[in-house]
Structure 1
Amino acid sequence: MHRSKGKLSGVLSKGFKPDKCKIALKMAMARIKLLRNKKEVQVCQMRREVAQLLDGNQDQTARIRVEHVIREEKFMQAYDLIEVYCELIVARMSIIDSQKTCPIDLKEAIASVIFASMRCSDVTELADVRKNFTSKYGKEFATSALEVRPDSGVNRLVIEKLSAGAPDVQTKTKTLSSIAAEHNIKWEPKAFEEQKQNEDRMVN
C-alpha cells in the first residue's frame, strides 16, 4: 500500500515539464506586455469619450461608460501583478522542480497565476502554466486556487482586480473627477451623487 502511494506521487509530477512551463510563462509575459499597450490606447480613447460626455452635460451616459473604463483599468493593474508573478516563478523554476510540494514563499505567485488563467482568457499561455502546475501539485491545489478557497494563497488584489462586479458610486465619482480634471472640464460630482441617491431611493 505504501509503495503504491509513492508510485502515485511519481506519476503525478511526471506531467510537469519545467522547461515547457518556463517557456509558457515567458510567452505569457510577452503577451501581457502587448495586451497592456493595446489596452492603454483603448483606455485613453475611452477616457476622452467620457470627457466629451461630461463636457456636454451627459452625466447619465458618462456614468455608464465610465464603468467600462474602470473595468479595463483594473485589468491592466491585474496584468502588472500577474507579470511580476510570472517573472518570479521563472526565476525560481529550479527550486520548484526540485521540491515535491509547493514552496511556501511561492504559493501566492503560483496560486494567483492559476486563478488568473481562467479570467484572463486573452493570455492563452496561462492555461498551459495551469496544466503544468496541476500535474505538479495535483487537482486539489489548482481547484483551491480557481475557487479561491480559504488558504488557497491567491492574492486578494488579483481577485479584486479581476472581479466582474460593477464599481461602486465612490469609484465612479473618483474616476469621473479625474477624467474631468485631466481634460480641464468643470464638473461637479455633488449633483451626480445626489442623483444616484435619488435613484437608489426609488429602487428601494
Structure 2
Amino acid sequence: MGIKRILDALLGRNLFNTSKLKPLVNLAIDRIPMLKKKHKVRYTHARNDVTELLKLGEHERALIRVESVIKEQNMEDAFVIIEIYCHVLLERVMLIQKHKVLQSTFGKEFVARALELRNNCGVHPKIIQKLSPRTPSLESKMKVLKEIAASEKGITLRLESDHASEKKEGSIELHSLCEKLCESESKKASKKYRDAVAAAVEAFESAAYAYAAAAAAARAVIELSARTTESHDFDSDDENPLSMINP
C-alpha cells in the first residue's frame, strides 16, 4: 500500500486538489459567456435564414433549415445549465474533500454503494437531451417553424395543409373500401342458405373478398407512404437553401 500511495502521488492519480479546481472552474465560468454569445449569433443567423425562406415561399426548405435553429438553441441552453453547475461546484467544493475523508475511513466499496443509493446521480437529463446528436423530430421542427412564421406578418404555412390533404385522400380510399366490404357482408348475411354446402361456398367467397379488400387497402397505404417519402427525398436533394439568400 505504501508503494501504491507513492506512485499515486507522483502520477497525480486519485488526488483532489482544491487549489487547482477553483481556478479551472472560474476559467470555465469566464469562457461560457463567450461560447453562449457564439451560439447566439449562429442561432440568429439560422432564424433569419428561415424567415427569408418563408417569405420566398420555400417552406419545405425552411423546414430543413429550422434544424440548425433548434441545434443552436439547444447548445445555448446547455451552456446555461453548465454555468449553473459550475457555480454550485464552487460553493460545495468542501463536500468533495469530505467525500475523500469518508473514502479513506470506510473504504471505496462503501462510498460506491452510497452513491448508488441516491437518485439522479448521473448526468442531468436535460444536458443529455440538449447535446443529443439525434435529428429533431418533425413535431419539434413544425413547432419552431410555426413560432417563426407567427412572429412575421403575411406568412401562412402550407406544409400542414399538404400533408393533411394526402392523409385525407388515403383515409377516403380506405373508408370506401371498408364501406364496400361491410355492404357486401350485410347482403350475404341476409341470404338464407339451402344447405350446408351452399353455406360453405358462400363463406369461402366472403373470406376471399375480405382478403382482396384488405390487400387493396394495404396497397393504398403503401402507395401513399411512397409518395410522401419521394416528396421528402426530392426536397432533401435540392441545393443549400442559403444559396438562395446569400448568392
TM range (shorter): 0.5 to 0.7
User: Which of 225, 231, 235 pairs up with 1:201?
Assistant: 225
Instruction: Using the TM superposition, give the Cα deviation of residue 55 of structure 1 relative to its aligned residue in structure 2, in angstroms.
Output: 1.2
Instruction: Using the TM superposition, give the Cα deviation of residue 193 of structure 1 relative to its aligned residue in structure 2, in angstroms.
Output: 4.7
Instruction: Using the TM superposition, give the Cα deviation of residue 151 of structure 1 relative to its aligned residue in structure 2, in angstroms.
Output: 7.0
Alignment partner of 1:162 is 2:186: no
Q: Tell whether the 8 Å contact from 1:51 to 1:179 is kept in structure 2 after alignment.
A: yes
Correspondence list, 1:14-163, <5 A: 14=15, 16-100=16-100, 153-163=122-132
Instruction: Using the TM superposition, give the Cα deviation of residue 25 of structure 1 relative to its aligned residue in structure 2, in angstroms.
Output: 1.2
Deviation sequence 1:76-111 (CA, Å, 0-9, x none) = 111111111111001111221232189xxxxxxxxx
Q: Root-mean-square deviation (CA), in Å?
A: 3.7
Q: Tell whether the 8 Å contact from 1:22 to 1:90 is kept in structure 2 after alignment.
A: yes
Q: Distance in 1 between matches of 2:99 and 2:76?
A: 33
Cα separation, partners in 2 of 1:85 and 1:171, compared to 1, 3 Å? same
Instruction: Using the TM superposition, give the Cα deviation of residue 170 of structure 1 relative to its aligned residue in structure 2, in angstroms.
Output: 0.7
Q: Rg bigger for which structure? A: 2
Cα separation, partners in 2 of 1:59 and 1:200, compared to 1, 3 Å? farther
Using the aligned pairs only, state the percent identity.
28
Q: Any gaps of 5 or more consecutive residues in structure 2?
A: 103-107, 113-118, 171-222, 231-247
Q: Distance in 2 between matches of 1:196 and 1:170?
A: 17
Cα separation, partners in 2 of 1:190 and 1:81, compared to 1, 3 Å? same
Q: Tell whether the 8 Å contact from 1:180 to 1:186 is kept in structure 2 after alignment.
A: yes
Q: Distance in 1 between matches of 2:78 and 2:162?
A: 29
Q: Distance in 2 between matches of 1:93 and 1:43?
A: 34
Deviation sequence 1:109-154 (CA, Å, 0-9, x none) = xxxxxxxxxxxxxxxxxxxxxxxxxxxx9xxx9xxxxxxxx97611
TM-score in terms of structure 2 length: 0.54
Alignment partner of 1:176 is 2:200: no
Cα separation, partners in 2 of 1:29 and 1:194, compared to 1, 3 Å? farther
Q: Any gaps of 5 or more consecutive residues in structure 1?
A: 103-136, 142-149
Cα separation, partners in 2 of 1:95 and 1:58, compared to 1, 3 Å? same
Structure with more relative contact order (C-alpha pairs < 8 Å, separation 6 or more): 1
Instruction: Using the TM superposition, give the Cα deviation of residue 13 of structure 1 relative to its aligned residue in structure 2, in angstroms.
Output: 2.9
Q: Which residue of 2 aligns with 1:13?
A: 14
Deviation sequence 1:155-176 (CA, Å, 0-9, x none) = 1111010000000011000111
TM-score in terms of structure 1 length: 0.64
Q: Distance in 1 between matches of 2:21 and 2:224?
A: 49
